[in-house]
Amino acid sequence: MDYSMLTKKIRKDIFLTAYSASVAHIASAFSIVETMYVLYEQGVLRYNPENPQDPDRDYFILSKGHGSLALYNELSRVGFFDKDVLMSFSKPGSILGGEPCYPNTPGVECSTGSLGHGLSFAVGIAKAKKMDNRKEKVYCLLGDGECEEGSTWEAIMFAHHMKLDNLIVLVDCNKVQKMDTLEAVMGIESIRPHFEAFGCEVFEVDGHDIDSIRECLLKDNNTDKVKVVLLNTVKGKGVSIMENNPKWHWRLPKKKELKYFMSELDISEEEIRVCKELT
């Protein structure tokens, strides 16, 4: 199935939300669009928008909290709150902060954004579920740059020792962080051997191929190992001047750059005007 028009629409909505707020990590949200769509709309996560604290729900932790707009967009799409709420993003009194904040936002399980902490939180939930003989799963999405944080490996070490096969770690492997590429900053070409060395069962997929992501996430884990899915993605996916370019980690387009976003995401002049009125 061709999902290109759908994912373009999602990226358009994310951009318009960011533009109306005059702030956002757009590129980091764009790289995880397909993953978030699969989690929430392809039968992977169990959740209940009418009762966000449903005890039978699965848990999702967005450890790379700067990708929040991709999460907020999905929460809106599946009914946790109205789409109109997106345009309040990062404004005074909004339930949508620049990075996820618990318990302000329905569907958000953990306050994140301080990189390296989300996985430890997810490991704690997974361990508690095991102790209570519960069947719910815990999903945690990291950035590959975030894996430079030592606390990530402390959490993985504990999860492996405790045989937390109810924990699924997703890694957005876009190979670009705030200032440069991962390889330039820390000399890391691939993080797969690191997760394997810590005893995880590691899978690797195209992070922009919805069918491949869904198939991997729905595949039964027949071991007692932590499941790690490395999602090979493009930071800034969907807008040519933003793709794989570190300078877009935290910025909005200037006037001359805006035409690329408008053309490649099918954004009209009227939609831009409305966003400007909301800033």
Residue 178's pLDDT band (boundaries 50, 70, 90)?
A: confident
The mean pLDDT of 90-103, rounded to a whole number, is 95
pLDDT for residue 189: 79
pLDDT for residue 188: 79
Residue 106's pLDDT band (boundaries 50, 70, 90)?
A: very high
Distance CA(102)–CA(113), nearest Å, equals 12
* Cβ-based neighbours of 125, under 8 Å, separated by 6 or more: 59, 61, 109, 138
Residue 277's pLDDT band (boundaries 50, 70, 90)?
A: confident
**Which tokens is 150 given?**
């030592």
pLDDT for residue 253: 95
pLDDT for residue 186: 85
Inform me whether the pLDDT recorded for 115 exceeds 90.
Answer: yes
pLDDT for residue 89: 96
Give the single-character DSSP code of 43. Answer: S
Inform me whether the pLDDT recorded for 65 exceeds 90.
Answer: yes
Beta carbons of 42 and 214 less than 8 angstroms apart:
yes
The mean pLDDT of 206-221, rounded to a whole number, is 95
Inform me whether the pLDDT recorded for 213 exceeds 90.
Answer: yes
**Which tokens is 61 given?**
């932790």
* Cβ-based neighbours of 134, under 8 Å, separated by 6 or more: none
Sign of CA dihedral 207, 112, 252, 84: positive
Mean of per-residue pLDDT scores for the chain: 95
pTM: 0.96
CA 160 from centroid of its chain's CA atoms: 23
The mean pLDDT of 61-75, rounded to a whole number, is 97
Which amino acid appears at position 78 of this protein? V
Give per-residue pLDDT as tens, 134-160.
Answer: 999 999 999 999 999 999 999 999 999
Give per-residue pLDDT as tens, 6-41.
Answer: 999 999 999 999 999 998 899 999 999 999 999 999
Nearest residue to 128 via CA among 168, 167, 161? 167
Residue 51's pLDDT band (boundaries 50, 70, 90)?
A: very high
Residue 276's pLDDT band (boundaries 50, 70, 90)?
A: confident
pLDDT for residue 279: 79
**Which tokens is 157 given?**
């070490």
pLDDT for residue 98: 94
Residue 211's pLDDT band (boundaries 50, 70, 90)?
A: very high
pLDDT for residue 62: 98
Distance CA(257)–CA(208), nearest Å, equals 24
Residue 182's pLDDT band (boundaries 50, 70, 90)?
A: confident
| Residue positions counted in the chain | 279
Give per-residue pLDDT as tens, 220-264.
Answer: 888 899 999 999 999 999 999 999 999 999 899 999 999 999 999
Beta carbons of 226 and 127 less than 8 angstroms apart:
no
pLDDT for residue 63: 98
CATH number of the structural domain 4-278? 3.40.50.970
| 203 SS3 class | strand
Which amino acid appears at position 209 of this protein? D
What are the Cα distances from residue 207, in Å, to 32, 153, 197, 252? 7, 22, 23, 24
Distance CA(27)–CA(35), nearest Å, equals 14
